[in-house]
Amino acid sequence: MADKYIHGHSAAVLTAHSRRTAQRDAAYLIPHIKSHFDILDIGCGPGTISADLAALVPQGRVTCVEITESALNAARSTFTSRSLGNGDFVVGDVTSRLPFEDDSFDVVHLHMVIMHLPCDATVALKEVRRVLKPGGVVGCKEMIMSTTRWFQVDKRLDVWEKAITGTILETGGSPDMGMGLKNAALEAGFEQHKVKSTASSWCFSDEEEVQFFGDSCAERFREGSQLRERTIGGGHATPKEVDDFVKACHEWKEKKGSWFGVMNGELLAWK
């Protein structure tokens, strides 16, 4: 799995992911969390959402899972910097068998994980269901990549959607997974009346957000980056198109009225 994540774990990627918070990115899940719950956060990345969740369960614990030991280091640092002592850090792969007993967790959280997995989503959700306690809930948010929109309109910016869609499909993932979460949960054995499917969006519109997003997108396609190499190597864009995209990102962030948005699917499913 370590080589399947198209963005890699570069400083630019970790910086972008470190902006994520539970209050914004897991708002649909927070009302269902109690202070004594044990939470499993699969694909925790730099651990900013995980740490926010840990602060909500002072009598419980949050177990952070990543696919390599090195990928867990950023999450460990986040917990340390916030003086949180209720975190555990475990290497695991939801596409096979997680190193936990059946019925172990009150909550399992996944954020932009299933869309990158090289397997049917039901495989991952069946494993999630196994480690959930009876009555426990899974919270999952996944992108719907085809809803990506940029303004000011610039055809050079289309490389973003083409590159990410193409590289995710190439590794066996599902770039529009957000639309299929409900169906995947039902196929994984969750009962219809215990499944709730909603949607939210990411939007970058104020000056600071636009500056950040433009720089972040450009940096992910710099010379030697994993996403650039996969995009060009997979035939999803030419080197010139990628270079033009980088240039367009820097121009976009300086234009008045610039805006970016994309829809995300959300899932709550109880065991």
108-139 pLDDT per residue, tens: 999 999 999 988 899 999 999 999 999 999 99
Q: For 54-97, what is each residue's pLDDT tens digit?
A: 999 999 999 999 998 988 998 999 999 999 999 999 999 999 99
Give the pLDDT confidence score for residue 14 in this predicted structure. 57
Residues above pLDDT 70, as percent of the chain: 93
Residue 2 has pLDDT above 50, yes or no: no
CATH annotation of 11-270: 3.40.50.150
pLDDT at res. 16: 56
As a whole number, mean pLDDT of residues 186-200 equals: 98
Q: How far apart are the first and last CA of the chain?
A: 27
Residue 84 contacts residue 55 (beta carbons within 8 Å):
yes
Mean pLDDT calculated for residue range 176-189: 98
Which pLDDT belongs to residue 10? 53
More confident residue, 8 or 28: 28
Alpha helices in the chain (DSSP H): 11-17, 22-25, 48-56, 69-81, 121-131, 159-170, 181-187, 207-220, 226-233, 239-252
Q: pLDDT band for 4, please (50, 70, 90 cuts).
A: very low
Residue 5 confidence (pLDDT) above 90: no
Would you state the pLDDT for residue 17? 56
Q: What is the pLDDT of residues 15-48, one digit of tens each?
A: 555 689 999 999 999 999 999 999 999 999 999 9
Per-residue pLDDT, 203: 95
Average pLDDT, rounded, for the chain: 93
Domain ranges across the chain: 11-270
CA distances from 161 to 55, 56, 166 (A): 35, 35, 8
- 225 pLDDT tier (thresholds 50, 70, 90): confident
Could you tell me the pLDDT band of residue 13, with boundaries at 50, 70 and 90?
low
pLDDT, position 1: 47
Better-scored residue on pLDDT, 207 or 1: 207
